[in-house]
């Protein structure tokens, strides 16, 4: 902003005012209009105040808000604003800088209170961060499943290395810890000369798994005992929980000044959705120390805000049981559990090869014959019932494409049969031949009535499926048996079974006390529709494709449906194996990415899970 004032023989002071503003904003007084006799003292004042604050908060915003003029004097009213980081209001204050015209032209002494209000000659500013406590994620029983955990940070302290090469030390330590030596060496060599470079963070409880005695002999080795936010055990419900991690350089660069090195950010799941609540806000104190005084004066203070605990619906025992069931699967796999009465997600486990990518929550797969539950609902809405006769030929050519039933289906079943038997024996052609009665829109609406494609509850990072109402031709035909372009996740199919058991459309929830109402479809599932579906899914167990797996299972009645879909992997045809199961107030899906028919791969795992949670 220009300074529009002029006195004969003095000039306006405009260029000097602009030079001063530019210098203050840049943090460099080299070109500032300072009195020669005061230049050294002015730089010292600047270093003791503004430079200290710039190191902590970065460059301030400085605006000229008013100017007062008198003969030979120009008072510049400045508003300073310091961005203190995420979760904190900016620190804003006003000062006045006096420019005076004299033998040296327009110049200033740049007094202390022109930089920080109330500061006096000889003051030294200091900034202290007060660390907050991170919140926890608590399971349904109130136990911590994610939060502060004792860990060991192991690495090379370059500042303490008095002999030897830091890169050689990094390589040696990496070999002892059995991590990548070359990457470790690169990190150490590219860091500052006195940096501590962490090679590995391990849980305190896992310390015996590493040869720390040998590591202690590496030049520059340092072990730091700290706390870090982690899951209760490695791989525990990774997709549900997500993670809190230190901000990367890219995070900081993209944060608009809200993040600094060492800040935590949430990624995925509950941590990603509620990172600000979990992380809290560190406290901050700006103080000045005056000569002759033992205690500093506080100039600005931001109180600590500790992170909040987030209660969720996971059942830890059930989560561990599900994880144990999948422990020996060689292909990516998942087991997702939902409580029909309220939609609570009780477990979301993944096999060893699927831990880093939670396929049960975000995987996109054709659901195969488990989707016949949806096609059957669509037929019920056209007036059919479990006893309606349908045709089940061994194969059918529709829209120029040939479809057939599973090779293992008993040929004696081919021909007319009631709809309930078509579901029990999983007849593909019986469903496909309904394509001219069941529109794609009706199929999509029926899928939504069972939870597919609806928005999941807050904090649940998942894919709930897609059924495009515009699909036509062979894509519509294939959709009738859960193939074509129909995609769902294992969690979405667990919700389908939960809706059938609940007698209403279920929305999956991960928060113990959801704050938002569940999403509802245009045509919600009715109690009568659910009763008909239950009767047919019960037939799958009592006399159909899963009679050998579940017919004799004790306790509440079991309802189930298998599914198998073909996919091509490097030219080889492989099978996705599915089963959805319901018993009492429990609904779950089991999915194995490379398996056999659902009854052969997924169903035995489902029975093993029921045995585990029932103590059998």
Q: How confident is the model over 27-60, as pLDDT tens digits?
A: 999 989 999 999 999 999 999 999 999 998 889 9
Shared domain for 506 and 377, answered yes or no, is yes
124-133, 286-295, 505-514 — which is least confidently predicted? 286-295
Residue 165 within any structural domain of the chain: yes
Shared domain for 60 and 74, answered yes or no, is yes
Higher pLDDT, residue 111 or 572: 111
Residue 388 within any structural domain of the chain: yes
**CA distance linking residue 145 with residue 351, whole number of Å:** 19
16-20, 115-119, 160-164, 266-270 — which is least confidently predicted? 160-164
pLDDT category at 212 given cuts 50, 70, 90 is very high
For residue 199, the enclosing domain spans 147-231
Shared domain for 480 and 545, answered yes or no, is yes
Shared domain for 443 and 551, answered yes or no, is yes
**CA distance linking residue 428 with residue 406, whole number of Å:** 8
Shared domain for 460 and 506, answered yes or no, is yes
In order of 36, 224, 347, 484, the CA distances from 361 in angstroms are 69, 36, 11, 21
pLDDT category at 356 given cuts 50, 70, 90 is low
pLDDT category at 399 given cuts 50, 70, 90 is confident
pTM comes to 0.85
Residue 109 within any structural domain of the chain: yes
Shared domain for 103 and 61, answered yes or no, is yes
| H or E element at residue 130 | strand 124-130
Q: Where does a domain end: 88, 122, 156? A: 122
In order of 202, 365, 455, the CA distances from 466 in angstroms are 40, 10, 11
Q: Burial letters for 262-276: b for 16+ Cβ neighbours within 10 Å, e otherwise? A: ebbbbebbbbbbbbe
Percent of the chain at pLDDT above 90? Answer: 75
Read off the pLDDT of residues 432-484 as tens digits, 9 standing for 90 and up. 999 999 999 999 999 999 999 999 999 999 999 999 999 999 999 999 999 99
Shared domain for 223 and 240, answered yes or no, is no
Residue 333 within any structural domain of the chain: no
| H or E element at residue 265 | strand 264-267
Task: Give yes or no for residue 211 having a pLDDT over 90.
Answer: yes
Sequence-ordered list of residues with C-beta below 8 angstroms from that of 556, at least 6 positions apart, any chain: 583, 584
Q: Determine the distance from the C-alpha atom of residue 8 to the mean position of all C-alpha atoms in its chain, rounded to a whole number.
A: 66
Are the C-beta atoms of 50 and 119 separated by less than 8 Å? no
pLDDT category at 8 given cuts 50, 70, 90 is very low
The structural domain count of the chain equals 4
Residue 296 within any structural domain of the chain: yes
Q: What is the CATH number of the domain that holds 46?
A: 3.10.450.100
Residue 353 within any structural domain of the chain: no
Shared domain for 482 and 394, answered yes or no, is yes
Shared domain for 383 and 503, answered yes or no, is yes
Q: What average pLDDT does the segment 369-376 reach?
A: 97
Classified as helix, coil or strand, 499 is helix
Q: What is the CATH number of the domain that holds 451?
A: 3.40.710.10
Shared domain for 128 and 118, answered yes or no, is no
**CA distance linking residue 242 with residue 231, whole number of Å:** 9
Q: What is the CATH number of the domain that holds 285?
A: 3.90.1310.10
Task: Give yes or no for residue 9 having a pLDDT over 60.
Answer: no
Residue 429 within any structural domain of the chain: yes
Question: Could you give the angle at which helices 527-542 and 372-380 cross, rounded to 10 degrees?
Answer: 130
Classified as helix, coil or strand, 220 is coil
Shared domain for 191 and 57, answered yes or no, is no
**CA distance linking residue 188 with residue 410, whole number of Å:** 65
162-176, 410-424, 436-450 — which is least confidently predicted? 162-176
- pLDDT recorded at residue 408: 83
Which tokens belong to 186?
């690169």
Residue listed under structure tokens 């120009």: 74
Shared domain for 103 and 217, answered yes or no, is no
Percent of the chain at pLDDT above 70? Answer: 97
- pLDDT recorded at residue 250: 87
Read off the pLDDT of residues 222-264 as tens digits, 9 standing for 90 and up. 999 999 999 999 889 999 999 999 888 888 888 877 777 778 8
Task: Give yes or no for residue 292 having a pLDDT over 70.
Answer: no
**CA distance linking residue 253 with residue 276, whole number of Å:** 18
**CA distance linking residue 72 with residue 99, whole number of Å:** 8
Q: What average pLDDT does the segment 549-571 reach?
A: 89
| H or E element at residue 444 | helix 440-449
Residue 348 within any structural domain of the chain: no
């Amino acid at each position: 902003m220009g300074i529009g004032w002029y006195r004969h023989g003095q000039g306006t002071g405009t260029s000097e005012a602009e030079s001063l503003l530019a210098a203050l904003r840049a943090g460099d007084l080299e070109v500032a209009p300072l009195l020669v006799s005061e230049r050294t003292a002015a730089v010292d004042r600047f270093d003791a105040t503004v430079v200290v604050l710039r190191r902590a908060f970065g460059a301030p915003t400085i605006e000229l808000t008013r100017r007062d003029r008198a003969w030979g004097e120009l008072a510049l009213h400045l508003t300073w604003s310091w961005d203190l980081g995420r979760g904190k209001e900016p620190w804003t204050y006003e000062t006045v800088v006096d420019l005076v015209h004299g033998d040296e032209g327009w110049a200033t002494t740049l007094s202390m209170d022109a930089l920080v209000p109330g500061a006096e000659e000889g003051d030294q500013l200091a900034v202290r961060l007060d660390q907050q406590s991170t919140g926890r994620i608590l399971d349904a029983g109130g136990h911590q499943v994610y939060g502060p955990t004792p860990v060991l940070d192991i690495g090379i302290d370059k500042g303490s290395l008095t002999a030897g090469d830091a890169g050689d030390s990094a390589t040696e330590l990496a070999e002892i810890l059995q991590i990548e030596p070359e990457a470790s060496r690169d990190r150490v060599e590219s860091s500052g000369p006195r940096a501590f470079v962490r090679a590995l963070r391990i849980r305190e409880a896992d310390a015996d798994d590493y040869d720390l005695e040998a590591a202690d002999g590496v030049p520059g080795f340092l072990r730091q005992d700290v706390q870090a936010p982690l899951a209760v055990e490695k791989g525990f419900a990774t997709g549900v929980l997500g993670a809190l991690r230190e901000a990367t350089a890219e995070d900081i660069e993209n944060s608009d000044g809200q993040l600094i090195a060492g800040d935590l950010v949430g990624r995925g799941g509950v941590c990603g959705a509620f990172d600000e609540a979990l992380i809290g806000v560190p406290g901050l104190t700006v103080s000045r120390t005056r000569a002759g005084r033992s205690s500093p004066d506080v100039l600005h203070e931001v109180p600590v805000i500790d992170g909040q605990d987030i209660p969720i619906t996971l059942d830890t025992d059930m989560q561990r049981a599900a994880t144990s069931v999948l422990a020996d699967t060689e292909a990516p796999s998942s087991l997702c559990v939902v409580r029909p009465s309220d939609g609570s997600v009780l477990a979301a486990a993944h096999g060893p090869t699927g831990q880093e990518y939670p396929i049960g929550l975000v995987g996109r797969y054709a659901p195969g014959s488990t989707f016949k539950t949806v096609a059957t609902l669509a037929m019920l809405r056209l007036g059919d019932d479990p006893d309606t006769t349908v045709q089940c030929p061994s194969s059918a050519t529709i829209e120029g494409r040939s479809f057939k039933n599973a090779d293992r289906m008993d040929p004696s079943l081919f021909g007319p049969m009631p709809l309930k038997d078509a579901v029990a024996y999983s007849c593909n052609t019986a469903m496909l031949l309904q394509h001219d009665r069941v529109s794609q829109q009706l199929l999509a609406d029926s899928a939504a009535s069972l939870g597919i494609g609806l928005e999941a509850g807050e904090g649940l990072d998942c894919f709930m499926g897609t059924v495009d109402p515009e699909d036509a031709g062979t894509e519509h035909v294939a959709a009738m048996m859960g193939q074509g372009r129909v995609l769902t996740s294992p969690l979405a199919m667990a919700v389908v079974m939960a809706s059938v058991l609940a007698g209403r459309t279920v929305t999956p929830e991960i928060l113990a006390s959801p704050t938002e109402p569940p999403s509802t479809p245009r045509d919600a599932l009715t109690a009568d529709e659910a009763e008909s579906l239950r009767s047919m899914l019960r037939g799958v167990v009592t006399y159909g494709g899963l009679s050998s797996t579940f017919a004799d299972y004790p306790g509440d009645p079991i309802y189930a449906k298998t599914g198998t879909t073909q996919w091509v992997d490097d030219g080889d045809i492989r099978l996705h194996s599915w089963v959805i199961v319901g018993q009492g107030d429990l609904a779950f899906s089991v999915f194995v990415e490379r398996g056999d028919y659902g009854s052969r791969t997924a169903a035995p795992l489902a029975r093993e899970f029921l045995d585990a949670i029932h103590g059998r």
